[in-house]
């Protein structure tokens, strides 16, 4: 079990040494993580806003449907009157 643990320690040590030699890489890595966090936050906020807006649209449609269902005008029924046929001259 010591083999994989020692190898991973060597890899981690190599990464730390490389980042010490080039601090710009460390800064860019941190900036990338910050950008990912910001994008996640922004998309989560947009999804929350979109869900709230959709809920309001559906509620508005339901209210309009309720109002229109109370305003039904009864149809006047007219029966067709059939006139007798006139003879052709």
Considering the domain boundaries, does residue 84 fall inside one?
A: no
Q: What is the DSSP string of 14-83?
A: HHHHHHHH-HHHHHHHHHHHHHHHHHHHHHHHHHHHHHHHHHHHHHHHHHHHHHHHH-PPPPPP-PPPPP
Residue 74 lies in a domain: no
Residue 88: φ, ψ to 5°: -85, 130
Q: How many independent structural domains does the chain possess?
A: 1
pLDDT at 32 over 80: yes
Do the domain assignments include residue 87? no
**Domain interval for residue 48:** 9-69
Q: How much is the pLDDT for 54?
A: 97
For residue 25, what pLDDT is reported?
Answer: 87
Count of C-beta atoms within a 10 Å radius of residue 8: 10
Residue 36 placed within a domain: yes
**41 part of a folded domain:** yes
Number of H helices, E strands in the chain: 2, 0
pTM of the model: 0.53
Confirm whether 82 is domain-assigned: no
């Amino acid at each position: 079990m010591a083999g994989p643990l020692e190898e991973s320690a060597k890899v981690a040590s190599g990464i730390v040494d490389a980042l010490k030699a080039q601090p710009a890489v460390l800064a860019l890595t941190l900036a990338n993580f910050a950008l990912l966090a910001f994008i996640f936050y922004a998309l989560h906020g947009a999804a929350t806003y979109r869900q709230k807006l959709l809920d309001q649209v559906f509620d508005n449609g339901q209210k309009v449907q309720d109002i229109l269902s109370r305003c039904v005008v009864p149809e006047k029924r007219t029966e067709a009157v059939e006139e007798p046929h006139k003879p052709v001259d």
